[in-house]
Amino acid sequence: MSKKAAPQKHEFQTEVRELLNLMINSLYSNQEIFLRELVSNSADALDKVRFEGITNPDLLGEDSDLRIDLKVDEDARTITVSDNGIGMNEDDLVQSLGTIASSGTRSFLSNLSGDSKKDMSLIGQFGVGFYSVFMVAENVEVLTRKAGEDQAWLWSSKGDGEFLLSEAEKENRGTIVTIHLKDDEDISGFASECKVREIIHKYSEFIVHPIWLKTLPKPAKDEDGELKPAEEKAAERLNEKTAIWRRSAKEVTEENHKEFYQQISNDFAGEPLTVTHQHVEGRQEFWSLVYVPGKAPFGLFNQDRGHGIKLYVKRIFIMDNCEDLLPTWLRFVSGVVDSEDLPLNVSREILQNNRIIAGIKKHVIKKTLDALQKMADDKPEDYATFWKEMGMVLKEGFYMNFEWLDELKSLLRFHSTSSGTSDNISLKDYVSGMRDGQDVIYYITGESLKTMEKSPLLETFRAKGFEVLFMADHVDEFMMSGLHDFDGKQFKDISRGDVELEKTEEEEKIEKEQHENYGKLCDALQNALAETVETVRVTSRLQDSPCVLVNKEDAMSAHMERLMKQMGQDNMSVSKRILEINPEHAICKMLQAQSEAGDELGDWPTVLLGQALLAEGSPLPDANAYVQAVNKLLI
């Protein structure tokens, strides 16, 4: 037998030494990814030998059962990751485990700041996943034999700037990585069956190749206290679930979708209303599987709530709640995106400026909106359920968004003076039902549907047959900052400025006379209410109420002012309102007669202003003064 050569000592490339020093000495919050990286490397090795075996079946030989095996020895603090993949020879080991791909490496190292958290988030850009093992290992051994070759090799390193490489014996092709964990309580905890199972379940349960876990048996004591032989444990498969998003959409059943939706959304009693299942090929390849839930997820209306999309790369889990794949106004969906083109160690910082992610995001948004539109067209009852539960979140899409406005406009639904508060209508339905000559879309905002239904502002609109949309959600005021028109029709808030409705010649003549006749009363009311009201004027928009408050055309609505105060904006300036009076109402006629006679108006200005405020849902500035004024008039 020939004598084996002594192990050869090699030095790591300069960049590798710097990188290892950073990893070993920096505090990194996600140390568990070392196992994800090693399992992923094994999966790649299995893919390579399977591909090579297509053209060269001899490479596989009898060992065609491709698999990954994990072994844990808690007492020895070791974890072993084995595969029967393509394996490596001497050159492969030097190139793969002694250097880093040169592209961008020096630039990366030159940008290190000393902030360990920030620096560690950048490491994944350069394909150095294997080196993450040194975050937890005091020594690593790699025993490997390349498929088609007879010589095996042993690579070992303590991550101290050098590695040893020697010839070795290994019966079959493949690689065995043995990790000797550091003697640290937190790190030693990785050498436990439960922890390894947890990590594989989190990151690698959808890898196509089987992953088997075997724990070394521990001797037990019998009734006499004597050690008895340990019972051999059978290996346990950790990843029997299939990545259903990688299957053809036609192969996945409704029951499959229901089960997977419940798994990823934690909505164990719910079902998705609609599913979007896509496989995109071309310049970039990815799979997406997106569910729209039937009920609003818990905490949905908190904008800081995590997004429901999980990001995978080549079936390997990367992160939960990937906010770079969906805007906040689609945070109600749950699903998976799996990319073939992203680096495995992609970090949140890298995602923000990644063109691949930008392309995936655009695709996922479009397909989600298309699915909602299809639901609205084909299953209006299901869409009504969705809108009631999650429509308010979708409305957020009109704020600081200029790309998807047309799609969102088609999805909007509103209560109105025609549909009432039980049904909703679309903007398309509103426009198709507009009166001849009507060139704007009328709407009103307020605290609640009940308040708006009884608003004096609606009286003439109802009388003349003009439909008005109700906007009672707190987000509606913000939505209108981005919702300016639909189908060429501008939106008009009926509480702002003067609303010009069609009038007959006789109505215009009467209105002109009323303006002249009520000038003195308007001046008297304005003087009495000067602190609150900028102008008092006669209006034709009222039928049954004596008065109403409106805003100037360019002023913030009263509802918006109340919302801003609720948000803590107590120091904002409040615009004075316009009080409009109904010249046909008995109270106004009585006050007009008093004014013409030179009599004082007494408590009537306070009562009229209070009534107008209460009718629109606004609080009274001085409730006690209002009550006393009413009481005086009742005596």
Sheet strands (E) in 302-375: 308-313, 316-319, 334-339
Residue that wins the pLDDT comparison between 113 and 509: 509
Question: The tokens of 622 are what?
Answer: 């001085």
Q: Is 350 exposed, middle or buried (0-12, 13-18, 19+ CB in 10 A)?
A: middle
pLDDT of residue 394: 95
Contact 542, 548 (CB under 8 A): yes
Would you say 542 and 582 are in contact if contact means Cβ atoms under 8 Å apart? Answer: yes
Q: What is the pLDDT of residue 266?
A: 84
**DSSP three-state, residue 421:** strand
Q: In this structure, how many other beta carbons lie within 10 angstroms of the beta carbon of residue 403?
A: 12
pLDDT at 114: 53
Residue 344 has pLDDT above 80, yes or no: no
Distance, CA of 157 to CA of 24 (rounded, Å): 13
For residue 619, name the pLDDT band (cuts at 50, 70, 90).
Answer: confident
Report which of 253, 280, 275, 250 is spatially closest to residue 265, judged by C-alpha positions.
Answer: 275
- Kindly report the average pLDDT of the chain as a whole number: 86
> Other C-beta atoms within 10 Å of 575: how many?
15
Q: What is the largest CA-CA distance in the chain?
A: 130
* Across 256-265, 272-281, 374-383, 491-500, least confident range: 491-500
pLDDT at 174: 95
DSSP string covering 267-291? -TT--EEEEEEEEE-SSS-EEEEEE
When computed from its CA atoms, the radius of gyration of the chain, rounded to whole angstroms, is 36
Residue in 385, 415, 407, 156 with CA at minimum distance from that of residue 293: 385
Spatial distance between the Cα atoms of 199 and 342, rounded to a whole number of angstroms: 21
User: How far apart are alpha carbons 86 and 106 in whole angstroms?
Assistant: 30
How far from 610 is each of 537, 539, 547, 586, 625, CA to CA, in Å? Answer: 17, 18, 10, 18, 10
> Quick check: helix, strand or coil at residue 258?
helix
Helix, strand or coil, per DSSP, at residue 411: helix
Encoding tokens for residue 357?
């992610």
Q: Give the model confidence (pLDDT) of 100-138 as tens digits.
A: 544 344 444 555 555 544 444 444 433 457 888 888 999
Q: What angle do CA 128, 133, 138 make, to 5 degrees?
A: 135
Would you place residue 345 in the very low, low, confident or very high pLDDT band (cuts 50, 70, 90)?
A: low
- Terminal Cα-to-Cα distance of the chain (whole angstroms): 123
Distances (CA, A) of 229 to 35, 71, 221, 234: 31, 19, 9, 16
**275 C-beta neighbours (distance < 10 Å), count:** 18
pLDDT of residue 61: 80
Q: How confident is the model at residue 54 (pLDDT cuts 50, 70, 90)?
A: confident
At CA 349, angle to CA 344 and CA 353, rounded to 5?
90
161: Cβ contacts below 8 Å, ≥ 6 apart: 11, 12, 17, 20
What is residue 70's three-state secondary structure?
A: strand
d(CA 577, CA 355): 50
**Secondary structure (H, E, C), 174-218:** EEEEEEEECCCHHHHCCCCHHHHHHHHHHHCCCCCCCEEEEECCC
CA angle 217–203–28, rounded 5-degree value: 90
Write down the pLDDT at residue 129. 74
pLDDT digits (tens, 9 = 90+) for 262-312: 989 888 888 999 999 999 998 889 999 999 999 988 878 776 666 789 999
Please tell me the total number of residues recorded for the chain in this structure.
Answer: 635
pLDDT at position 55: 87
User: Is residue 155 pLDDT above 70, yes or no?
Assistant: yes
pTM greater than the 0.85 cutoff: no
**Burial status of residue 194 (CB atoms within 10 A of its CB: 0-12, 13-18, 19 or more):** exposed
pLDDT value at residue 188: 81
Are 272 and 261 in contact, with CB atoms under 8 Å apart? yes
pLDDT at 33: 86
Residue 478 is classified by DSSP as H
Q: Residue 215's beta-bridge partner residues?
A: 72
**Burial (CB count <10 Å: 0-12, 13-18, 19+), residue 511:** middle
Element counts in the chain: helices (H) and strands (E): 22, 25
Task: Spell out the alpha helix ranges (H) of 329-354.
Answer: 348-351
